[in-house]
Amino acid sequence: MNKRPIIIDCDTGHDDAIALLLALGSPEVELKAVTTTAGNNVVDKTFHNTLKVLSHIGVTDIPVAKGAESFFFQPHKIADHVHGDSGLDGPELAEPSFGGVKLSAVELIEKTVRESAEKITLCPMGPLTNIATFVLSCPDLLPKIERISFMGGSAVGGNASPVAEFNTWQDPEAAQIVLKSGVPITMCSLDATFDAYITAEEKERFRQIGNKAGILTAELLDFFGKFHAKVGNKGAPMHDACAVAAVINPALFEMKRANVSMDLNGTFTRGCTTTDITGVTGRKQNCDVTFGVDREAFVELLYSAVKNLQ
């Protein structure tokens, strides 16, 4: 079977860490590079957390690059109320056993795409700053992007504002550039990702695998689950892992095609991914939007991936 080459752009982050495990343990995809951005926390921390997670499970041969420190048109706000001071509180992880590459995130994406014989799929799961800079600065390489499967946005509701999801709310202009790039896009929106949760019982199954990845998953969920229990969510939603799951097996998700355009100027609606499900605007459909997920199958997919790892 041909593995689909992917690049993950993340702001690790609990659910980012689990997305990395899903990618690394799944035979359907090959993780070619990881780039990091400011998002859940400052980029120095998200970069460091990424190296720590990969080191912990013995993956030290994947290039990791540091990217955007802040956003295009607004300052950065961290989400330490969700992910803790370090951006990845909870598990005790050793210092990384390898360093990142000297290239910037955009340069690493550029190099990886340029050198690849096959088209590459991008899986961004933080603010879209790095990806938008890539879109702007490497227009000639866009035909080599198979798809952008990003976690972000919401057709209805939000988690950063009543109508906006955190990643697209952090850098709406970057999101707009990506949405208008002409590259096929899957928007793994909150509409489905809130339902991609892991229950307390399922969490213990991961712990019982007994390998480093399984125990790490459980410990990430121990911490992450507390916040979500406090705000009344059914379990710990694995938002970011959906960006990878939708590449491995799109059939896990109920999808609708729609035009998605960023609200950039709203007083109350800035950062909203305005999703035109009914076609009322007449604008060209540019996204496959997730509206539901087969939760149990999603958890099984993650379980077998984690089992494949150290």
Partner 1 sequence: MEKRPIIIDTDPGCDDFFAIMMAAAYEGFDIRAITTVAGNAVVDVTTRNALDIAKLLGIKTRIAKGAGSAMMHPFDEPAAFVHGLNGIGQVVLPRSEQKVDEMKAWDVIYDEACKADGQLELIPVGPLTNVAIALLKYPDLKDKIKRITIMGGSTTIGNCLPYSEANIFHDPYAAHLVFTSGIPLVMAGLDITLTALVPTDDIMKMSEDIKNKAVRDTVVQLAKIRGNEPFHDVVAVASVIKEDIAEYKDYNVEIEYKSPLTYGRTIVDTTFTTGKAPNCRVMTGYNVEAHKTMFADMMRKY
Among 27, 58, 139, 143, binds partner 1 (CB under 8 A): 139
Question: Cβ(183)–Cβ(158) under 8 Å?
Answer: no
CB of 107 to partner 1, least distance (A): 8
DSSP 154: -
Choose the catalytic residue: 48, 83, 228, 239.
239
Distance (Å, whole) CA 203 – CA 217: 8
Among 227, 264, 285, 294, binds partner 1 (CB under 8 A): 264
Tell me the angle at which helices 129-137 and 105-115 cross, rounded to the nearest 10 degrees: 50
Question: Cβ(134)–Cβ(157) under 8 Å?
Answer: no
DSSP helix/strand/coil, 185: strand
Q: Is 177 in the site for partner 1 (CB under 8 A)?
A: yes
Among 69, 204, 254, 300, binds partner 1 (CB under 8 A): 69
Q: Is 267 in the site for partner 1 (CB under 8 A)?
A: no
48 is annotated as an active-site residue:
no
Among 50, 149, 176, 186, binds partner 1 (CB under 8 A): 176
Whose tokens are 């950063």? That residue is 160
What's the gap between Cα 247 and its chain centre? 12
CB of 153 to partner 1, least distance (A): 17
Q: Binding segment for partner 1 among 22-30, 172-180, 194-202, 218-226 (CB under 8 A)?
A: 172-180
Among 8, 135, 192, 213, binds partner 1 (CB under 8 A): 135
Of 269, 277, 276, 256, which Cα lies nearest the Cα of 188? 256
Q: In this complex, which beta carbon is closest to partner 1, that of residue 22 or of residue 262?
A: 262
Which token pair is 198?
């892991």
Cis peptide before 13 (omega within 30 of 0): yes
Q: Binding segment for partner 1 among 66-74, 157-165, 187-195, 237-245 (CB under 8 A)?
A: 66-74
Q: Is 72 in the site for partner 1 (CB under 8 A)?
A: yes
Task: Mark 73-112 with x for binding to partner 1 (rule: CB under 8 A) and - for no binding.
Answer: x------------------------------x-x------
# binding residues, partner 1 (CB under 8 A) = 19
Distance (Å, whole) CA 180 – CA 170: 18
Distance (Å, whole) CA 250 – CA 267: 35
Q: Binding segment for partner 1 among 14-22, 170-178, 195-203, 222-230 (CB under 8 A)?
A: 170-178
Please name the residues in contact with 88: beta carbons below 8 A apart, sequence gap of 6 or more.
12, 13, 14, 17, 45, 49, 52, 53, 220
Q: Which residue ranges make up the site for partner 1 (CB under 8 A)?
A: 69, 72-73, 104, 106, 133, 135-139, 173, 176-177, 180-182, 264-265
Catalytic residues: 239
